[in-house]
Structure 1
């Protein structure tokens, strides 16, 4: 195992780094998109506490099966160390979740506050998902370089010929590094898994909201179109009434002209008749005088 750690620890760290960076980039893009991030935060805040509590946890066996399937590569030398790293990382999380102190493979007091708790058979987010996503996007991948103190100590002991003690210190350091990597990848995987479920719910809510907006817009358009058609029909009726009234007025005007003409003709006829009568009287008077 000592030889495996010495040779393959860097390879394991590369595997974890690629995975964490991939997840971190996805979170960073979400957070940097201010409009989308604000929309997601508003969606999460609007959910009732009991639903948020339920969505912030997942069964351990469900996640561990997916985790092993993702990282275990058959006939790959590093797979054994990867699984061992995940196992010790899980145990570190369990110890921290139970509030136990002491020493396992890694010094738990030196590990940062966990993002995930293990509660019976459930993985549970340690705090609000918004805070954890922001932390996961910014928190660097754990790295356990050799401290100057350890390096000087190792060099001193090597000079004194205490190679066994140096190997022990080096082994503990590599084990601690392996545990921290396993814990980090486990936390990132669990957070990513739980967030995926929340993200699906968010996307469904956004799609439903857009659908409601489209329906409302269609209803408004239909209402406006209906009013426009009513206006046109009303305008057509008014125009028809106007034409009828105009025709009626013209008819009255024509009738009045006809009546006026008939009256004038009657008046002229009476005048002509009177003139004729007066002429006849004058003629008769002239004959009598002769």
Structure 2
């Protein structure tokens, strides 16, 4: 101890500092001077990289001298100091310089908020950087299009990064020498890494168990084929989903994703390689748009040691999650950086090729000019050579011709010069007219040639423009179709439905037929909420579904083929007015059983003003007989018979059937009750099985009289609109 003015300093010193070379390492240590009241004890922590010959380190101003009288000096007039030291050695196989568990727990009580802030500020910094890129619509779209244009192997390579590269970047950012919290941060990065490794090990163990079972049952080949198909399907779905993102131009609030998606696994760790688990561009967008977890852990409740211990473990687990997120964010941002670099290289190469092509064209043009000039020189030289080789007779003959020409010109000159000739004005006029005519003809020919050349150039330019417009139209149509397909995701089992659940454990249902009626919807879902009108883009209604329920209720007419209910199918350019409402998650199994013959789709409805909903909704779309029998009936004829066979329905999806009369009347009335827009949309965007005849046309011809029919008394409530 030593005194400096009014302060007490404290230092740790090595006894044999000359021979001990261990202090060339990093050390973290804490020093405390005890007070009679433990809560008033004075603590100080530090992290220090000692020099090779440095033998002590400490605080020049540890505590003010007057404060020592406030309970720090014991009855023996002594100060009690406690010190805790940990030397942190570097390990090649462990890049994170971590603390002992007990030491970490002690420090975490003091520095928890600081550590949380470090992690969150790192993640937020990355998000802001990527958000700026996404806000630049043109740049972001270019990146997206470039990504879609890459082949699968190039994408796969870009989605991977060696573990040591990632860890070096993370350590470089988070480990700051002489900053106490650095080692705590390293601890939780280490546990985050272990979390990723453990998740991958569990998947590998599960895969080995499944593979063993498949080998026992001789199904390994079919399973591998199925897995390959599923992988390709997932990749296609990711591309479709991503193509939609390119076309979207919504506000961030509208595209905000549930926080749960941010917490989902972003990268896996296999064989010392970080691999992103999904399409990196989708992950980037979700990372930017998903809300971050709230900062700050719950306050420790001082109800004995058990509650404190519980809260400490919870805090440590939360920080371990932060560490994992930080590790996942780095490869994610690396993908963006690599993609941006590759796109710049590609643009540079393209520009370079264009420049070279332009230079080649100019060089070729210059070569043609040179060749043309050489040809003219050769012709001139040949002429001179011919003159030299002419005979005397040929020369005389040539001169005679030249003389005749000269005489003609001379006579004309004399004619012009002779002012005493009476017919001179007329002859002059005639001569001028002849000359003028010749000039006009020459100019006319030049103009014609020029116009012809311009017309050809104009036609070529027009053809090029038409071709360009056509290509753009095809590209736009392809993007629209792909975007529309992306909005649709098939729900194959109950777990897929659960992904669409809202925070209050409800799921949205889309009504397009009888469910346009709120009364009808409530008869099926008594506890539904938020019944409202919406729009659905890219679908049309078609009467092409044989409905067994009409046979059960006695309202089907097999003789006239009036047995059909509505289904929907994708159709570019079409738009439906539908209803949307929410049901409880507990009602999902019954809903699936009731609509078993349909394809369950997750779609994104819009408000009537065109604003997309935040949550997806379930839509019952057209299925196929083959899929229904093989998947829903598991290839079992008995199951099919229970659903359809007992009604003599051999084919579910048919284009030669007509609407069930009472059902059609009910749907039309339900649409009418929703307002003019819904009513007219139903009449003009609902078709018979031929996909040509609208319901408006049908009701005014073959189906006339349907709207005047009344349902049986027992069905009036259900089919009353």
- For the aligned pair, the TM-score class normalised by the smaller chain equals 0.5 to 0.7
User: Unaligned 5+ residue runs, structure 2?
Assistant: 1-103, 205-259, 374-405, 422-721
On the 8 A contact 1:141/1:184 being kept in 2, the answer is: no
Higher fraction of strand: 2
Is the alpha carbon distance of 1:31 and 1:68 closer, same or farther for their aligned partners in structure 2, counting shifts above 3 Å? Answer: same
On the 8 A contact 1:60/1:122 being kept in 2, the answer is: yes
1:254 equivalent in structure 2:
413
On the 8 A contact 1:142/1:180 being kept in 2, the answer is: no
1:3 equivalent in structure 2:
106
2:137 equivalent in structure 1:
34
Paired with 1:213 and 1:111, the residues of 2 have a C-alpha distance of: 43
Do structure 1's residue 74 and structure 2's residue 177 form an aligned pair? yes
Shift of the alpha carbon at 1:133?
0.8
- Of structures 1 and 2, the one scoring higher in RCO (CA 8 A, sep 6+) is 1
| Secondary structure in 2 matching 1:31 | helix
2:275 equivalent in structure 1:
124
1:201 equivalent in structure 2:
342
2:467 equivalent in structure 1:
none
On the 8 A contact 2:192/2:320 being kept in 1, the answer is: yes
On the 8 A contact 1:59/1:122 being kept in 2, the answer is: yes
On the 8 A contact 1:142/1:181 being kept in 2, the answer is: no
2:263 equivalent in structure 1:
112
**TM-score if structure 1 supplies the norm length?**
0.66
Paired with 1:219 and 1:55, the residues of 2 have a C-alpha distance of: 35
Do structure 1's residue 173 and structure 2's residue 320 form an aligned pair? no
What aligned pairs does 1:207-226 form with structure 2 within 5 A after superposition?
Answer: 207-213=348-354
On the 8 A contact 2:262/2:286 being kept in 1, the answer is: no
Is the alpha carbon distance of 1:207 and 1:110 closer, same or farther for their aligned partners in structure 2, counting shifts above 3 Å? Answer: closer
Paired with 1:249 and 1:20, the residues of 2 have a C-alpha distance of: 98
Shift of the alpha carbon at 1:80?
0.9
What aligned pairs does 1:1-290 form with structure 2 within 5 A after superposition?
Answer: 1-99=104-202, 112-143=263-294, 158=303, 163-213=304-354, 253-256=412-415
On the 8 A contact 2:262/2:290 being kept in 1, the answer is: no
| Secondary structure in 2 matching 1:99 | helix
On the 8 A contact 1:23/1:192 being kept in 2, the answer is: yes
How many pairs are equivalent? 225
Is the alpha carbon distance of 1:7 and 1:100 closer, same or farther for their aligned partners in structure 2, counting shifts above 3 Å? Answer: farther
Paired with 1:145 and 1:257, the residues of 2 have a C-alpha distance of: 111
Shift of the alpha carbon at 1:100?
5.7
Shift of the alpha carbon at 1:112?
3.0
On the 8 A contact 2:159/2:275 being kept in 1, the answer is: yes
Is the alpha carbon distance of 1:253 and 1:110 closer, same or farther for their aligned partners in structure 2, counting shifts above 3 Å? Answer: closer
Is the alpha carbon distance of 1:250 and 1:125 closer, same or farther for their aligned partners in structure 2, counting shifts above 3 Å? Answer: farther
Shift of the alpha carbon at 1:257?
5.3
Is the alpha carbon distance of 1:111 and 1:168 closer, same or farther for their aligned partners in structure 2, counting shifts above 3 Å? Answer: farther
Is the alpha carbon distance of 1:146 and 1:178 closer, same or farther for their aligned partners in structure 2, counting shifts above 3 Å? Answer: closer
Shift of the alpha carbon at 1:54?
1.0
On the 8 A contact 2:116/2:295 being kept in 1, the answer is: no
On the 8 A contact 2:297/2:315 being kept in 1, the answer is: no
RMSD: 3.6
Shift of the alpha carbon at 1:213?
4.8
Shift of the alpha carbon at 1:32?
1.4
Paired with 1:252 and 1:182, the residues of 2 have a C-alpha distance of: 108
**TM-score if structure 2 supplies the norm length?**
0.28
Paired with 2:105 and 2:407, the residues of 1 have a C-alpha distance of: 114
> Over residues 234-257 of structure 1, what are the superposed CA-to-partner deviations in whole Å (9 max), with x where a residue is unaligned?
xxxxxxxxxxxxx99965521555
Shift of the alpha carbon at 1:59?
0.8
